[in-house]
Amino acid sequence: MISLSYRDTDLHFSCLTLLLPKLTIKSYTPSSGRLIMSLDESIQTVSKLTALQDILLSAVYNNQQRWFPRNTSLRKMSEIKDTFQSIIHDTDMNLYCPINENDEQGPNVYRDGVWSRGILQSGILSPGSSIRIVVKLQGLSFHVYPSSDQWSGKFRLQHRILAVLIS
């Protein structure tokens, strides 16, 4: 994994933490934690997240030889885009939010004026509900073949949901 950070003049943040606008849940699968939210009402968010992903794809393209010296050939930008597991698909955002009942390792949950740690009643993340998410973008996670130490070409944005605000 290659971690993300943000630098601007005197500011340095070791990770990117985003408070997303209010989004509508399209689906949530408790067994896998897959959370799909609609960005239809927030086109600016789509633009900004897509721009961020484009910057990350360019960084991978420009640094692949340095990051993966055992790979014998360089990948084209089109190949890099094809093997990237994007969190944005059209106007949907795909995140993973594994929450079990009484999961003390889960995200903070705010509902009805009360904060709890990872405690979520079943059915709360139902399609059509509106939520806000605090998500920490930790870095890029690359799939490397253990036997050869070569990058397979597959990678994704590693993230962790820190908080769910249910309205």
pLDDT of residue 99: 67
R_g (Cα) of the chain, nearest Å: 18
Q: At 62, which helix (H) or strand (E)? A: helix 43-67
pLDDT of residue 43: 92
Domain coordinates of the chain in residue numbers?
A: 2-98+128-166
Q: At 160, which helix (H) or strand (E)? A: strand 151-166
Grouped pLDDT means (10 residues each) for the chain, 167 residues: 78 85 93 91 93 94 92 93 94 84 72 79 84 93 90 93 89
Return the sign of the alpha-carbon dihedral for residues 37, 41, 44, 47.
Answer: positive
Asked if 37 and 25 count as a contact pair (C-beta separation under 8 A), the reply is yes
What is the distance between the alpha carbons of residues 79 and 162, in angstroms, rounded to a whole number? 32
